[in-house]
Amino acid sequence: MADVESAKQESRIFNPPANLVKDAAISGMNAYRALCAEADRDYAGFWARLARENLDWHKPFTQTLDESQAPFYKWFGDGELNVSWNCLDRNLANGNADKTAVIFEADGGEVSQVSYRELHRRVCQLANGLKSLGIQKGDRVVIYMPMSVEGIAAMQACARIGATHSVVFGGFSAKSLQERIIDAGAVAVITADEQLRGGKHLPLKAIVDEALALGGCDTIRNVVIYRRTGGNIAVAAGRDLWLHELVASQADTCEPEWVNAEHPLFILYTSGSTGKPKGVQHASGGYLLWAALSMKWTFDIKPADIFWCTADIGWVTGHTYIAYGPLAVGATQVVFEGIPTYPNAGRFWDMIARHKVSIFYTAPTAIRSLIKAADADAKVHPSQYDLSSLRILGSVGEPINPEAWMWYYKNIGREQCPIVDTFWQTETGGHMISPLPGATPMVPGSCTLPLPGIMAAIVDETGNDLPNGQGGILVVKRPWPAMIRTIWNDPERFKKSYFPEEFGGKLYLAGDGAIRNKESGYFTITGRIDDVLNVSGHRMGTMEIESALVAHPLVAEAAVVGKPDETTGEAICAFVVLKRSRPSGEEARQIAKELRDWVAKEIGPIAKPKELRFGDNLPKTRSGKIMRRLLRVLAKGEEITQDISTLENPAILDQLKQAQ
């Protein structure tokens, strides 16, 4: 990967601005080192102190870390709290009742504001409404919602009554939704009639109906519908209810359900290297601690800040840095329904200017596409907008290439804003490796150093530490509070995926490769080392896409690989063998389109292969293994220079050179 190479070569250093350092939560590298040293000295004591200082406990904990059933670690295990209470009631008590919690900007540009008092009221009413449907502590609720105050309120309402939510991104298909409903054993779905993105009405309720009609969702009793557009939908009597009707007669306070710190707050499905998506299960106490603390440490959040994270609540970034973190620290945040290119590619910059956003957190793929748009049309160039309110920029989801980093730094940050390149994962709950805006000198393309208390390291295949300068496998050596607790319904898979025996069962395996700089010790992430692709910051398992393809009646065999893409980071390239003869010309194009649409239906439009190639066979070893490394070379359009002596059928390579 060319980007990784340029990131590894990068030597420019950018220091945090002095005025920011002065007032930062972690001010200067000595303050950072002091926190790291505290964690080294007394790991449990360090986290216990932070958990007491940052969260309000209904029943204080006396045990910090319980390792007796490792790798099923428990944090603050005998403490009790409620996540929604910490996000809402605590702010009412702290004098933030009339502070704006959410500035909501709709797709079409309408803006509304919701105070902490109002959000608390809405969450309580919905929590009471859910209780009136018989939903109880421990029940699972699937949320399939557009970006909205109601989506956040639905998550918070579940947390309030101790129900475990599982948010499914609104871009996933009926089939994906059905699989998640079944795996989670959900009792209800909260959805909307439609979502509105870029002026287009996209069905949500109709997809829920389709998912339920696919069968197997016997645990579902109710579907609650938020009326977003007023679009035409079917309402099943006895099962479906309007959200506004459900909450209309509900009391506007709701005593929170006090739960154990380890109580599952949510399950979020994410792609793994094999089989079906994994239900990553997070606990309440440890997760919320990290959500709050990383808002303070990585984003240096202050009372006057206007925070904006552009992620969707369907991804982990939208959980930690929209639905929970900002509220847990009493911040004001922008929540955006639409897309960065509507009505034009200046939308983000225009919104930053209008809402006076001071902390802006987005993905490299968005930055890269907006660079292109700004190059093509001067009217949407960031120089046309007043971005002077910004003080900190953030990046998440995939490696940011030094070129995009520099553009972001110069054009959006006006060379005055630190960029926090935050490396983390669905499984880690929050930031793991990132610069601190008032401390860490930045190097473009490097996520720099682990947050205090995060014991990240690089090891070889046998789990031994590697010296700086040598690339290897990224691991975390000690459990941390916000870590994944298990895979829902599959504890064995949890152990195998993240704490494999080959590594002594004690190291958390991130699934990424990394290298540390010889002098600075800074980390650069070199990309996934398993069969997971990162397309526009979305995780996709190659196996998932292959299974979807072979489920099509025409397909005999399929292999999916990633191919570097200027805008999306990686693009999906599928090699397909049909049950009939290899098609060509117009027919091949037709079938390719049909298969792409099929994948969109099976998984969701984000999983559509960008490229599809047909062969009479796939390149295989004599023992029948598909040689994916050759497919990766072909996908890139490069000549094969590797050894192909173990290849059973070398002639096949020529056929697979052409995209349809």
- Of 362 and 426, which CB lies nearer to ligand 6R9 in the complex structure? 426
- Of 90 and 538, which CB lies nearer to ligand 6R9 in the complex structure? 538
Supply 303's token pair. Answer: 């009372």
Shortest CB 263 distance to ligand 6R9, Å: 22
Supply 386's token pair. Answer: 């007043």
DSSP result, 260-317: ETTSEEEEEEE--SSSSPEEEEEESHHHHHHHHHHHHHTS---TT-EEEE---TTSHH
Shortest CB 424 distance to ligand 6R9, Å: 5
**CA 125, chain centre distance (Å):** 28
Shortest CB 398 distance to ligand 6R9, Å: 5
State the binding site for CoA: 197-200, 317, 536
Instruction: List residues binding ligand 6R9 (CB under 6 A).
Output: 270, 315-317, 395-399, 421-426, 447, 510-512, 525, 528, 534, 537, 539
Of 381, 383, 395, nearest to 344 (Cα)? 381
State the binding site for Mg(2+): 550, 552, 555
- Of 139 and 512, which CB lies nearer to ligand 6R9 in the complex structure? 512
Shortest CB 271 distance to ligand 6R9, Å: 8
Supply 275's token pair. Answer: 């089989």
Shortest CB 315 distance to ligand 6R9, Å: 6
State the binding site: 197-200, 317, 397-399, 421-426, 512, 528, 536, 539, 550, 552, 555
Shortest CB 16 distance to ligand 6R9, Å: 18
- Of 228 and 528, which CB lies nearer to ligand 6R9 in the complex structure? 528
- C-beta of residue 433 within 8 angstroms of C-beta of residue 508: no
**Cα–Cα distances in angstroms (integers) from residue 44 to residues 50, 73, 298, 453, 568, in the given order:** 10, 13, 21, 10, 40
**Cα–Cα distances in angstroms (integers) from residue 535 to residues 183, 339, 367, 573, 606, in the given order:** 25, 17, 14, 11, 8
**What is the C-alpha separation between 206 and 230, in angstroms, rounded?**
13
Shortest CB 6 distance to ligand 6R9, Å: 14
Q: Enumerate the H helices of 113-251 as residue ranges.
A: 116-132, 149-161, 174-184, 205-213, 243-248
- C-beta of residue 207 within 8 angstroms of C-beta of residue 234: no
- Of 105 and 570, which CB lies nearer to ligand 6R9 in the complex structure? 570
Interacting residues of 404 by C-beta distance below 8 A, sequence separation 6+: 364, 367, 368, 371
State the binding site for ATP: 397-399, 421-426, 512, 528, 539
- Of 333 and 395, which CB lies nearer to ligand 6R9 in the complex structure? 395
- Of 79 and 397, which CB lies nearer to ligand 6R9 in the complex structure? 397
User: Residue with the closest Cβ to ligand 6R9?
Assistant: 426
**What is the C-alpha separation between 557 and 637, in angstroms, rounded?**
22
Of 289, 324, 323, nearest to 481 (Cα)? 289
